């Protein structure tokens, strides 16, 4: 029967303290401050009628000690067998500078291109004060108030309104965000805002239910509503986009 040499454990005893020194007991993995998600939805029909639509959304959040950066990019496209019926792109960016506790100062910009909307191009810039009123494990609520500037380019021909193509104005902005976990794998989110000026008032409401399928993949059902008080002639005051998407977080 072979016996282990008495000197074999000695190298292990010499190496072990050095290995423990490389990974101290209080070591923690570095906190991941960057969150990203991508969602996509596609639909095609053929036969008596042919149509297709696509919507996509990307979100990137970097939450640092002093400030939080959030960027959102959205695209929506639809067509039938004759022509394109919808084409819309949105870029949003918001910076929240933390004041301590649940309060912050924000700066926000939103750029919208909508080929078939009541306004083909909008630029909105605002800044103000925000507060997270509820921040629990399953419930979150935050409110914001501020002011800014809005530029509108209506969907008109050159002959409409004497050829006047665009307007700009100062605005007051009020908004809120609410999130509630309904189940271990299901979350309800809603976000609303009212931006009002001396020329126009725009109200938006975004609602979604997100159900985690497995790992980082989820099913998201959402509805975006936009109401514009004053629109060009022959334009609708209310726009509604409903989506069913797969969402991946990483």
* Mean per-residue pLDDT, 147-167: 75
Q: How far is CA 194 from CA 10, 21, 72, 197, 203, in A?
A: 73, 57, 19, 10, 4
Q: What is the pLDDT of residue 164?
A: 56
- DSSP3 helix / strand / coil % (the chain, rounded to 5): 5, 65, 25
Q: Name which of 17-21, 95-99, 170-174 the model is least confident about.
A: 17-21
* pLDDT surpasses 70 at 6: no
Long-range contacts, 84-89 (Cβ 8 Å, 24+): 84/115, 85/116, 86/53, 86/115, 86/116, 87/114, 87/115, 87/116, 88/112, 88/113, 88/114, 88/115, 88/116, 88/117, 89/113, 89/114
pLDDT digits (tens, 9 = 90+) for 34-78: 999 999 998 887 776 688 999 999 999 999 999 999 999 999 999
Mean per-residue pLDDT, 147-163: 74
C-alpha to C-alpha distance for 136 and 89, rounded to whole angstroms: 34
CA dihedral (79, 113, 74, 134) positive or negative: negative
User: pLDDT tens across 127-138, in order?
Assistant: 999 999 999 999
Residue 14 has a pLDDT of: 44
Query: Which comes out higher in pLDDT, residue 67 or 11?
Result: 67
pLDDT digit string, tens, across residues 181-239: 998 999 999 999 999 999 999 999 999 999 999 889 999 999 999 999 998 888 889 99
Average pLDDT for 167-189:
96
Asked if 91 and 63 touch (Cβ cutoff 8 Å), the reply is no
CA pair distance 42, 52, nearest whole angstrom: 8
d(CA 14, CA 221): 59
The answer, yes or no, to whether residue 247 has pLDDT greater than 60, is yes
Could you give the percent of the chain with pLDDT greater than 70? 83
Tokens representing 75 are 């695209």
Q: Where are the domains of the chain?
A: 31-249
Task: Compute the residue count for the chain.
Answer: 250
CATH number for region 31-249 = 2.40.160.40
Q: Report the pLDDT averaged over residues 156-181.
A: 80
The pLDDT, as a whole number, for residue 207 is 98
When the pLDDT of each residue in the chain is averaged and rounded to a whole number, the result is 86
- What local confidence, expressed as pLDDT, does residue 24 receive? 55
Please give the DSSP secondary-structure letter assigned to residue 161.
Answer: G
Judged on CB neighbours under 10 Å (0-12, 13-18, 19+), 115 is: middle
């Amino acid at each position: 029967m072979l016996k282990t040499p008495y000197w074999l454990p000695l190298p292990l005893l010499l190496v072990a303290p050095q290995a423990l020194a490389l990974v101290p007991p209080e070591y923690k993995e570095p906190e991941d401050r960057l969150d990203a998600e991508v969602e996509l939805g596609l639909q095609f029909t053929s036969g008596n009628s042919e149509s297709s639509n696509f919507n996509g959304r990307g979100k990137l959040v970097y939450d640092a000690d002093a400030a939080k950066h959030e960027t959102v990019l959205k695209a929506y496209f639809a067509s039938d067998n004759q022509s394109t019926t919808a084409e819309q792109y949105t870029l949003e960016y918001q910076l929240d500078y933390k004041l301590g506790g649940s309060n912050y100062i924000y700066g926000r910009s939103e750029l919208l291109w909508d080929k078939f909307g009541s306004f083909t191009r909008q630029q909105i810039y605002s800044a103000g004060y925000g507060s997270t009123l509820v921040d629990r494990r399953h419930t979150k609520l935050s409110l914001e108030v501020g002011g800014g500037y809005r530029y509108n380019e209506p969907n008109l021909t050159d002959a409409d309104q004497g050829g006047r193509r665009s307007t700009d104005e100062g605005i007051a902005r009020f908004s809120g965000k609410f999130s509630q976990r309904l189940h271990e794998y299901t979350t309800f989110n809603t976000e609303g805002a009212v931006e009002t000026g001396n020329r126009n008032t725009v109200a938006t409401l975004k609602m979604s239910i997100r159900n985690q399928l497995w790992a980082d993949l989820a099913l998201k059902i959402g509805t975006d509503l936009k109401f514009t008080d004053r629109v060009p002639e022959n334009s609708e005051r209310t726009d509604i986009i409903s989506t069913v998407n797969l969402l991946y977080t990483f």
